[in-house]
Amino acid sequence: MADQAQDRARARYKKILFLTWFLTLDLIMFGAFVRLTDSGLGCPDWPGCYGNVTPVGAMTEIRQAVSVMPEGPVTLPKAWIEMVHRYVGALLGFLIICICWMAWRHRKAFKQTPTLAIVALIAVCLQGAFGAWTVTHQLMPVVVTGHLLGGMMLLALMTWLAARERAHLPVAISMRRFTVWMGLGLGLLFLQIGLGGWVSTNYAALACMDFPTCHGQWLPEMDISSGYSFIRGLGEMPNGEMISQPALTAIHWIHRNFAFVVFVYLGILAWRLRGDPGLRGPATLMLILLLAQLLTGLTTIFFQWPLLIAVLHNGGAAGLVLASVTLLVRLDRAGSTALPT
């Protein structure tokens, strides 16, 4: 009877875990939609909307804001987009609390430390704080980029938790030598995601409209110091003036060119890892996503940043995090007993 109860608890834990993992991925995609539709200030206070639980109770304030600025940051559709994002974030936090509680309660039966679940709980609390700061600091680029990176880190933690529960073919112990290389690859990927977030939060996606050159030059005029000055408001230079074209060009150009470094590094590594049956699935996924990222990145330039493609580009980055963490977990298991698929 005790074994049956443990099995039921483990089954419930896995269901909640995979649901939370899926919701985290969805929330990252929806967060990109919020950012790209300029809905981040759809409700300019936090956690409610003008002190109300839903935009319905804030109709008077929203109408007043629209009458002053019809195309401004506050409209009814943008308010709903922003609040739905907050609702889903709150649900995600509740589910992670459940995971943390179950991991602690059944730590002996699961034969796993609850430390990783506790770290995920801390991470989702920090994400909530960054969500509030995003609004209170008026979409300050460094805060919004930090919010994006925090979401990707939370996805990495949830993927790690989920990957521990999923069976796969055994990985040869000789593949452990790639663990450090995969860890470095994940670090490069997060750096590139940060650079991409900086492009998005500074609205620099269209700073270079040609490819492979930028403004017809391989090395265009750039203001790197102003472009990568972190303590400044949205659309501003460090001195408070409107951000210059050379600063936007620097932001775009660095993200674009570092993408090739990440593409080559992860592409070669994934190709090598495909040789092991236990790693073939996530390694193949990584190769597919790298090609998709290249395609959506170029499409963003040539078709002037269509919303769907931009959201898919963000989702592709999340998918690469997913594949990278899965590979790291499996490399750590290299040499273990074969697991049923």
Active site residues: 82
Closest CA to 55 of 80, 74, 72: 80
Q: What is the DSSP letter of 55?
A: G
**Rounded Cα–Cα distance for residues 52 and 244 (Å):** 38
What six digits make up the tokens of 295?
Answer: 């395609």
**SS3 label, residue 169:** coil
**Rounded Cα–Cα distance for residues 236 and 243 (Å):** 5
What is each CA distance from 139 to 12, 104, 135, 198, in whole angstroms? 39, 37, 6, 12
Neighbours of 284 (CB within 10 A): 15
**Rounded Cα–Cα distance for residues 223 and 221 (Å):** 7
